[in-house]
Chains A and B, each alone.
Chain A
Amino acid sequence: MPKRLIGKNVLQAAIERIEWTFDSFQRIYCSFSAGKDSTAMMHLVMDEAKRRNKRIGVLFIDWECQFSMTIKHARKMFDDYAQWIDPYWVSIPMTTWNGCSQHEPEWICWEHGKQWVRDKEDISIADSGFFDFYKPNMMFEEFVPLFGQWYARGERTACFVGIRTQESLNRFRTIARNKPMIDGKSFTTNVIDDCWNVYPIYDWKTEDIWTYAAKSGTPQNPLYSRMHQAGLTIHQMRICEPFGDTQRKGLWLYQVIEPEMWAKMVARVAGANTGALYASESGNILGNSSLVCPAGHTWKTYVKFLLTSMPPKTAEHYRNKIAVYLKWWSIRGYENGIPCEADKKLESLGKAPSWRKIAKTILRNDYWCRWLGFSPTKTTAYAKYTDLMRRRRKEWNISDIEPNPSQEPTQC
């Protein structure tokens, strides 16, 4: 989708999108992370809510392991706008990806029986029974659309989301792809039933966010000033849950900015310290950039070695994914097996399979194998999925990945 200038600045356009949303939807809530983008968006949305004297919902997922400054800022926003919001500060056990450990490839915030790094806020929704759709330890990605459906109560509902297309190609595609939208507004996307995401600041640049912050004088998360002091550029400053495979590169910031919190996080989340130490290293430690096939191994035997060196449960999970990957490619030109290496560009475009790509996926702790083209399996469906995969693997008879200590790994 090419960019077309329409003779308005992005602030004016965002205000108009918000006004249109208030006119067009019966129920409205704001998805808030306390980062710079959602903060700017929430101020604009609240301006309109105040003008219309209308209360809207605000959803904040409290990940437990977060900077204190972010929590304080989120709290201030909730307090400042208390008169116009229905607060949903969610502090219940939720599963997210941990790219720092094969022993705990996922971690659960606010997990029962664990020593949490901080106490829950007094305004928190701490009882998981509050949401009738909640399943124990469900994933964030499952929670969010169901929350929208729950909040909507059958009415047309808008959820303001502060993503910007400048941030990533994925976010650009969220806006630009062909999709169902309301009234031809490309800044809307259907989530579930009659619930719609609305992206009022999708065309803002990072500079626009800070220009708005400076000119409006609205409260901002002070963490960004600390990040600036720590030497980050405005484009490097991100606030999100910390242990994903790209997010783990920011773990060192906890050591610098909030050492007390960091000490608690190391005790709380498996691999946090390893992640902080090695997340920026390229090579085989965490699978960043170029990998080297160790001497005496082919990529295929290296994958086998990696599978035997990890906890059995995690290895079995990867074996299921790899079996599907091999099966998929076996009917697309690779019936006699995939090569150890392929053209790097075609590998990254997903047009050619290789054992190197599988090794990279494992080394990155890419638990859901997104790098191989998979999506996460729903928490509630995982047991069924593993049963199904056990049967399929027998049927497919892919010996390359089955555990068999007596047999030497075959060559590529």
Chain B
Amino acid sequence: MTSNILPYTEWEDWKAGMYADKSDSPSSVSSAVSLLRDQHRLAMAMRSVSMYWKNACNANLREPPNNRSWLGQAACCYAVGVPESITRIAWGLLTDHQRDLANRIADEVIDEWKSIQKKNRQKRMFDA
């Protein structure tokens, strides 16, 4: 399960500056908040992360409980270019209901990602 994890220097989230130190400017916080509140855009961003950030997903999406928060942070970084520190501030500004919805979307996308991984593994076994 862990053999194809790559070092963080190969992760797309790290390359995109998700762990960079950035000041919490009001505009970047508000763009993260608006993404997290918008179910449609958030789902799109999360699915894009799961499709295009393969190395980062491989390292960060496997294990609960942190995979859900990672996906939210990665989606904000992917879609609006903010580091995870900003997303954490933005998360604090959501209502309970908005958080529940965002968590539900993350769970759906993680399930989809896991089932694709499973299919790929089975396919590789057959190919072999």
Contact = CB atoms under 8 A, between A and B. Distances in A.
A333 B59 contact: yes
B96 A331 contact: no
A2 B2 contact: no
Interface string B50-83: 0000000001100001000000000000000000
B79 to A, nearest CB: 21
B19 A346 contact: yes
Interface string A100-116: 00000000000000000
Interface in B9-52: 10, 14, 19, 21
A17 to B, nearest CB: 22
A396 interface: no
Contacts of A351: 8, 59-60
Interface residues of A, number: 15
Contact of B99 (A2, A331, A342): A2
A331 B14 contact: no
Contacts of A121: none
A357 to B, nearest CB: 13
A342 B19 CA distance: 12
Contacts of B89: none
B60 to A, nearest CB: 8
Contact of A2 (B3, B8, B19, B96): B96
Contacts of A2: 96, 99
A346 B14 contact: yes
Contact of A332 (B2, B10, B21): B2
B5 interface: yes
A333 B65 CA distance: 21
A66 B91 CA distance: 42
A292 B3 CA distance: 33
A8 to B, nearest CB: 19
A20 B60 CA distance: 41
Interface majority SS (helix, strand, loop, mixed), chain A = loop
Contacts of B65: 178
Interface in A83-122: none
Contacts of B60: 351
A212 interface: no
A76 B99 CA distance: 48
Interface in A321-347: 331-334, 339, 342-343, 345-346
Contacts of B3: 331
A343 B2 contact: no
B5 A333 contact: yes
B7 A334 contact: yes
A331 B88 CA distance: 30
A2 B95 CA distance: 9
A161 interface: no
A99 B13 CA distance: 36
A256 to B, nearest CB: 37
B8 A343 contact: yes
Given A343-B14, A346-B14, A333 B6 contact: yes
B19 A333 contact: no
A331 B8 contact: no
Contacts of A352: 7-8
Contacts of A331: 2-3, 5
A272 B20 CA distance: 39
A346 B19 CA distance: 7
29 contacts: A2-B96, A2-B99, A4-B96, A178-B65, A331-B2, A331-B3, A331-B5, A332-B2, A332-B5, A333-B5, A333-B6, A333-B7, A333-B8, A333-B59, A334-B7, A339-B7, A342-B8, A343-B8, A343-B14, A343-B19, A345-B19, A345-B21, A346-B8, A346-B14, A349-B19, A351-B8, A351-B60, A352-B7, A352-B8
Given A345-B21, A346-B8, 17 more contacts: A4-B96, A331-B2, A331-B5, A332-B2, A332-B5, A332-B59, A333-B5, A333-B6, A333-B7, A333-B10, A339-B7, A342-B8, A343-B8, A343-B14, A343-B19, A351-B8, A351-B60
Interface of A: 2, 4, 178, 331-334, 339, 342-343, 345-346, 349, 351-352
A-B CB proximity, top 9 nearest: A333-B7, A345-B19, A333-B5, A352-B8, A332-B5, A333-B6, A331-B2, A346-B8, A2-B96
